[in-house]
């Protein structure tokens, strides 16, 4: 842990604004992730964490500022180049998105068959190795409908790492896991980052688990970056947003209710027939 920053960042956001259409979710975002680092992205529900992941993988463009991945400005890469960059990234999506018509083994084998020309015996070896890493080697033959929600997340994790990517992006990897699997998955993210010397962007609500493995933590909220520092820095922070999040207090600057908007007022008016 606390890996020295010896190389240039492989993911870099400089004064970035992100959103959808006219709606800006986050602005003034500066983020750096280097090889060998686990960087946690934290914030309340709807604060824009998944939006950050979409921006890092080029699924959405920055409304303002510059995003570079492997020193390439994502605003200037062609579709073909973006596909090549993405092959160097492994993503664990918030909604696991396994192929339900393939069994566990074939789900994990899928990226290998799509993006590399390895022999069938190598496919078997690599897939069983990755399934072993998530504790599911002996579930290789099962259908997706035969495994539990937590097992499905671990299969999705094995699939995200099967190409041994240089950047790993995890969106809520701990959701739906029991405490034992949760601890093992956190340690797995740490050890994979160290073994592959890859850069890991870890999106999570889980303070204890992420603080135990992260080198650096960014916290987003209220449309901006609220805090940035080591887990130790954040633990000592007196910022009311940081404190509310870390201490899980119901009252504070983070609102539970989703904010209202002109689009909601219009919908309500149409729905109820009353202004
Ligand atoms: N495809 C989309 N089109 C329009 N608005 C969107 C879209 N996806 C997300 N949003 C909005 O962007 C904001 C941030 O959403 P995002 O999914 O990034 O939040 P999050 O921090 O990942 O939340 P959670 O912890 O619940 O997963 C929310 O207000 C959401 O309604
Ligand atoms: Mg999300």
CATH number at residue 218: 3.40.50.300
pLDDT digits (tens, 9 = 90+) for 40-49: 999 988 999 9
- Whether 140 maps to a domain, the answer reads no
Ligand nearest to the CA of 171: 2
In the chain, the largest separation of any two C-alpha atoms, in whole Å, equals 66
Two structure tokens written together for 264: 């909601």
Q: Roughly what angle, to the nearest 10 degrees, separates helices 149-161 and 179-196?
A: 0
- Whether 103 maps to a domain, the answer reads no
Given a cut of 70, is residue 5 above it in pLDDT? Answer: no
Given a cut of 90, is residue 114 above it in pLDDT? Answer: no
Report residue 162's pLDDT band, with 50, 70 and 90 as the boundaries: very high
pLDDT at residue 205 in the model: 86
Residues with CB under 6 A from ligand 1: 20, 25, 43, 45-51, 94
- Whether 192 maps to a domain, the answer reads yes
- Whether 93 maps to a domain, the answer reads no
Global confidence as pTM: 0.86
- Whether 112 maps to a domain, the answer reads no
What lies within 8 Å, CB to CB, of 116 at 6+ separation is: 163
- Return the residue whose CA atom lies nearest to atom 18 of ligand 1: 48
DSSP string computed for 200-238: EEEE-S-HHHHHHH-SEEEEEETTEEEEEE-HHHHHT--
pLDDT at residue 249 in the model: 76
pLDDT digits (tens, 9 = 90+) for 167-179: 999 999 888 788 8
pLDDT at residue 180 in the model: 84
pLDDT at residue 250 in the model: 73
For the chain, what percentages of helix, strand and coil (3-state, to nearest 5) are there? 40, 25, 35
Q: Rounded to the nearest 5°, which phi and psi values hold at 259? A: -65, 150
Two structure tokens written together for 144: 């997706």
Given a cut of 70, is residue 6 above it in pLDDT? Answer: no
Ligand nearest to the CA of 220: 1
Pocket test for ligand 1, best of 19, 25, 245 (most atoms within 8 A of CB): 25
Report residue 96's pLDDT band, with 50, 70 and 90 as the boundaries: low
- Whether 149 maps to a domain, the answer reads no
- Whether residue 160 contacts residue 133, with contact meaning beta carbons closer than 8 Å, is answered with no
- Return the residue whose CA atom lies nearest to atom 16 of ligand 1: 48
Domain that holds residue 199: 11-88+165-272
Indicate the range of 130-139, 177-186, 222-231, 250-259 predicted with least confidence.
Answer: 250-259
- Whether 115 maps to a domain, the answer reads no
Cα-to-centroid distance, 29 and ligand 2 (Å): 17
Pocket test for ligand 1, best of 45, 51, 221 (most atoms within 8 A of CB): 51
What percentage of residues in the chain have a pLDDT greater than 90? 62
Average pLDDT, the chain: 90
Higher pLDDT, 232 or 263: 232
Ligand nearest to the CA of 22: 1
Question: Could you give the number of structural domains in the chain?
Answer: 1
- Return the residue whose CA atom lies nearest to atom 19 of ligand 1: 46
pLDDT at residue 3 in the model: 47
- Whether 68 maps to a domain, the answer reads yes
């Amino acid at each position: 842990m606390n890996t020295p920053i010896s190389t240039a960042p492989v993911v870099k956001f400089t004064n970035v604004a992100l959103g959808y259409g006219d709606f800006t979710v986050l602005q003034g975002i500066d983020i750096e992730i280097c090889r060998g680092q686990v960087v946690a992205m934290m914030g309340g529900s709807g604060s824009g964490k998944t939006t950050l992941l979409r921006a890092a993988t080029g699924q959405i463009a920055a409304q303002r500022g510059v995003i570079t991945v492997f020193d390439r400005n994502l605003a200037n890469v062609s579709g073909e180049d973006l596909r090549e960059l993405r092959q160097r990234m492994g993503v664990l999506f918030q909604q696991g998105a396994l192929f339900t018509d393939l069994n566990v083994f074939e789900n994990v084998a899928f990226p290998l068959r799509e993006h590399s020309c390895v022999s069938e015996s190598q496919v078997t070896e690599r897939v069983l190795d990755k399934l072993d890493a998530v504790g599911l080697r002996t579930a290789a033959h099962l259908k997706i409908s035969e495994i539990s929600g937590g097992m499905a997340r671990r299969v999705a994790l094995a699939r995200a790492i099967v190409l041994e990517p240089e950047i790993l992006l995890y969106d809520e990897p701990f959701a739906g896991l029991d405490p034992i699997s949760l601890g093992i998955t956190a340690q797995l993210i740490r050890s994979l980052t160290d073994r592959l010397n890859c850069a890991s962007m870890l999106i999570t609500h889980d303070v204890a688990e992420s603080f135990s493995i992260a080198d650096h933590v960014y916290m987003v909220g209220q449309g901006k970056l609220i805090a940035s520092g080591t887990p130790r820095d954040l633990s000592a922070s007196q910022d009311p947003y940081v404190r509310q999040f870390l201490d899980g207090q119901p009252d504070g600057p983070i609102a539970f209710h989703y904010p209202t908007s002109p689009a909601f007022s219009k919908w309500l008016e149409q729905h109820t027939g009353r202004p």
